[in-house]
Amino acid sequence: MTFSLNDPDLFRQTAFLGGDWKTSTSGKSLTVDNPSTGEVIGTIPACTAEETGAAIESAQVAQAKWRRSSSAERAALLMAWYQLMLDHTEDLAQIMTMEQGKPLVEAKGEVTYAASFLKWFAAEAEHVQGEALVPTPDRRVIILKEPVGVTAAITPWNFPLAMITRKCAPALAAGCSMVLKPSELTPYSALALAVLAERAGLPKGLLSVVTGYAQDIGPTLTASPIIRKLSFTGSTKVGSLLMRQSADTVKKLSLELGGNAPLIVFDDADLSVAVSGTMMSKFRNAGQTCVCANRVYVQSGIHDAFLDRLAAKVARLNIGDGFDPQVQIGPLINDAAVAKVKEHVEDALAKGGRVIGKPLEIRGRFVSPVLLADVTAEMKIAQEETFGPILPVFRFEYENDAVEQANATPFGLASYFFTNDISRAWRVGEALDFGMVGLNTGSVSMVSAPFGGVKQSGLGREGGSLGLEEFLEVKSFHIGLPAA
Ligand code: NAP
């Protein structure tokens, strides 16, 4: 291990099962590596189906008590946890950069963003409201909002903290418990978060972090009748598999799945706003975000000037180890991710695409940013999420064509467009078939706004006040009032 933490106790190589830190009875473990160097950081237990089942049972016991806690008590736990996250920002960021690779400054930004969900839902916990109806003189109906119960979460590697707090903060605020399976690629951030939860006063069993192989843990979570809801962030392929697996027990589902975000630049856009918005959207986390601009459509009148400005910015990006403060582009997560990027670039070049600036360079898991022009809908890069630092630019003439091409995907997570024409802003904003639309900005994620997609990008919303609703059930309580 080459990192040094102020608080080494945050780095745990054991799972957090029912409130205890444990190795697995399987005796098996997985290694976790640093994507920058390929060096092994440590191991994690390969938890079994039985251990997952025991964590679910602990969550059931804990939830029966937690659902009767006051909203102020839930808020206090979340606020204590929030403060501990902020107090340990440096260590949490180091753990994240070590296992995920993103530049340390981005990792610190993610710690703050992840913590913001704890604070937001602490406040939301105190605002769960029902309704009272008086439908007839002899009837009153009280509409109660109750916790869903025991829940499960499965989270990805690209945002190892934020994708967890975005789920467990509303779950705990609503009075639910949670069994979490983080990605095997980035388990240490999740385990550090659990250490802080425990220090904040987390009741035993209310949150478990089950580490190991998805195929051992996932089916136990989906088959369990105790688990009433599954919240998943990851690929559409795995999301639809989990949906099928959850059918037998008719679970509530929140699915935050893949995207293929379009970004449209119109002739009337402010060029520098469009260029910086594109850079922000595309290159964060080396292009490994679900809301990354994956297809950039530029109107012909601004096309060449936009490419020139973009090429100058792309040329200034530094690639390297996320611990180097000069670096903006860290490594990709694994060799499969590198292979996919290479395949997309080669396919685009074979079909008539043109590199502007430096060609693709690959060194280990470091992939250089590439700006591609003359991209067309037939190329793989137009159809699939690339999840890497490749920026493909399509040229278009007419607004209708751009919107039609932008919508021509089975995905519907994020979209962006740049214009200074107010009528066009409304027209295009309403025509884009996506859960999130950014106008003159390259960012659509913040704690107060609902985050989520339509079509094959998923079901449900996280963040905002809707994020809490996902963990609440509605009960209609009918009260008869016999005539006096
Ligand atoms: P992934 O392969 O679907 O993995 C996501 C999670 O699912 C990981 O914890 C993974 O475990 C687990 N998993 C994999 N196979 C499973 C199975 N058969 N049963 C149960 N769990 C299983 O996705 P990823 O490659 O980590 O993440 C990238 C994808 O996530 C992209 O498509 C991206 O767009 C999407 N994403 C969406 C959002 C959003 O909010 N909409 C946010 C971030 C990412 P292991 O890693 O341990 O195998």
Q: Which residue has the tokens 């910086």?
A: 276
All structural domains of the chain, each given as residue ranges with its CATH number in brackets, are 8-257+457-475 (3.40.605.10), 261-447 (3.40.309.10)
Cβ of 259 below 6 Å from ligand 1: yes
Question: Ligand 1: which residue has its CA nearest to atom 13?
Answer: 214
Phi and psi of 390, rounded to 5°?
-110, 130
Distance (angstroms) between ligand 1 centre and the Cα of 147 equals: 26
Distance (angstroms) between ligand 1 centre and the Cα of 139 equals: 48
Distance (angstroms) between ligand 1 centre and the Cα of 424 equals: 36
Class of residue 406 by CB neighbours under 10 A (exposed 0-12, middle 13-18, buried 19+) = buried
Cβ of 158 below 6 Å from ligand 1: yes
pLDDT tens-place values along the chain, 484 residues long: 457 899 999 999 999 999 999 999 999 999 999 999 999 999 999 999 999 999 999 999 999 999 999 999 999 999 999 999 999 999 999 999 999 999 999 999 999 999 999 999 999 999 999 999 999 999 999 999 999 999 999 999 999 999 999 999 999 999 999 999 999 999 999 999 999 999 999 999 999 999 999 999 999 999 999 999 999 999 999 999 999 999 999 999 999 999 999 999 999 999 999 999 999 999 999 999 999 999 999 999 999 999 999 999 999 999 999 999 999 999 999 999 999 999 999 999 999 999 999 999 999 999 999 999 999 999 999 999 999 999 999 999 999 999 999 999 999 999 999 999 999 999 999 999 999 999 999 999 999 999 999 999 999 999 999 999 999 999 999 999 988 7
Cβ of 157 below 6 Å from ligand 1: yes
Encode 126-162: b = buried (16+ Cβ within 10 Å), e = exposed. eebeeeeeeeeeeeeeeeebebbbbbbbbbbbbbbbb
Question: Ligand 1: which residue has its CA nearest to atom 14?
Answer: 214
Q: What's the CA gap between 114 and 80, in Å, rounded?
A: 14
Q: Which two tokens stand for residue 441?
A: 């900005």
Distance (angstroms) between ligand 1 centre and the Cα of 93 equals: 21
Question: Ligand 1: which residue has its CA nearest to atom 30?
Answer: 234
Cβ of 185 below 6 Å from ligand 1: yes
Q: What's the CA gap between 81 and 87, in Å, rounded?
A: 10
Contacts of 21 (CB under 8 A, 6+ apart): 12, 14, 15
Q: What's the CA gap between 299 and 421, in Å, rounded?
A: 14
Active site residues: 256
Cβ of 238 below 6 Å from ligand 1: yes
**Looking at ligand 1, which atom is closest to the CA of residue 159?**
43
Cβ of 170 below 6 Å from ligand 1: no
Distance (angstroms) between ligand 1 centre and the Cα of 233 equals: 6
